[in-house]
Amino acid sequence: MKRYLAMDSNDWAKDNVVPNPLNDIFNFVAGGSDTTSYTLACAFFYILSSPEIYAKLVKELDENAPFIRDTFDYIKIQNLSYLNAVIKETLRISVPVPGCLPRIVPEGGTTLGSVYLPAGTAVSISQQSVSFHETIFPSPEKFIPERWLGNEAQRLDKWNVAFSRGPRQCIGTSLAYLELRCVLAYFLSRFEMALTGNCGDRLRWVDRFVAVNLDDVEIKLLRDRWN
């Protein structure tokens, strides 16, 4: 922000910045904070809504408690298979950016199926339509972390489009995964929790470029398991 405020509005090139700083600011705020908080709220909701999933995840975290409680070794935390499966399933069923992200067909054009798209054509696809495609994800309306485990996970990874794909993929993907893993690992390892609100079995949301929950996810901390 200091750099933007100090630059010469009559000579953008001199300061070597893009001529539309509001676009950058919007991306940093919406993409860097709203999406993470939305995903965490959804993750806690789906985890705590299923006693079986909650117990299975806590068991994995308890088995690796020294990496979380004593040293907080992120390198080891990021390899926890069920934690990763829960995060990927959350990103699938509650896509942080559910709408269409436009792309421009490059020089030479391309053919999709039987349709030729000339260079310069704007194309896009909804992330939500991929995540709820029944051929790719059977029973797409159900929260099933196990679909991201074992051999099936290798097939599905290419359809994990929550951060988009290709050279224009979200630049904050690695940071987002770090935040999600660290917050979930710490809180679920340390505290016994329960939902206190009444959201039903699905969260209601609206698309405001980033998804925004219409229901508050209210959680009660029942016990500090470390003390």
136 vs 133: CA distance, rounded Å = 6
139: left (phi over 0), alpha (psi -120 to 50) or beta: left
pLDDT above 90: residue 117: yes
pLDDT above 90: residue 80: yes
pLDDT above 60: residue 12: no
216 vs 213: CA distance, rounded Å = 7
Annotated binding site: 170
| pLDDT, tens digit (0-9, with 9 covering 90-100), for 84-106 | 999 999 999 998 888 787 888 99
Mean pLDDT on 128-134 = 91
**What domains can you pick out in the chain, each with its CATH number?**
30-99+139-224 (1.10.630.10)
Residue 5 banded pLDDT, cuts 50, 70, 90: low
| pLDDT, tens digit (0-9, with 9 covering 90-100), for 184-195 | 999 999 999 999
| pLDDT, tens digit (0-9, with 9 covering 90-100), for 31-64 | 566 788 889 999 999 999 999 999 999 999 999 8
Q: Is 64 exposed, middle or buried (0-12, 13-18, 19+ CB in 10 A)?
A: middle
Residue with tokens 């390892």: 189
| pLDDT, tens digit (0-9, with 9 covering 90-100), for 157-208 | 889 888 888 777 788 888 899 999 999 999 999 999 999 977 777 788 887 7
Q: What is the SS3 assignment for 185?
A: helix
Annotated binding site for heme: 170
Residues 110, 94 contacting (CB under 8 angstroms): no
Mean pLDDT value across the chain = 86
Which amino acid would we find at residue 104? I
Neighbouring CB atoms inside 10 A of 56's CB total 17
pLDDT above 60: residue 139: yes
Report CA dihedral (129, 132, 135, 141) to the nearest 10 degrees. -160
**pLDDT confidence of residue 171:** 80
221 vs 68: CA distance, rounded Å = 19
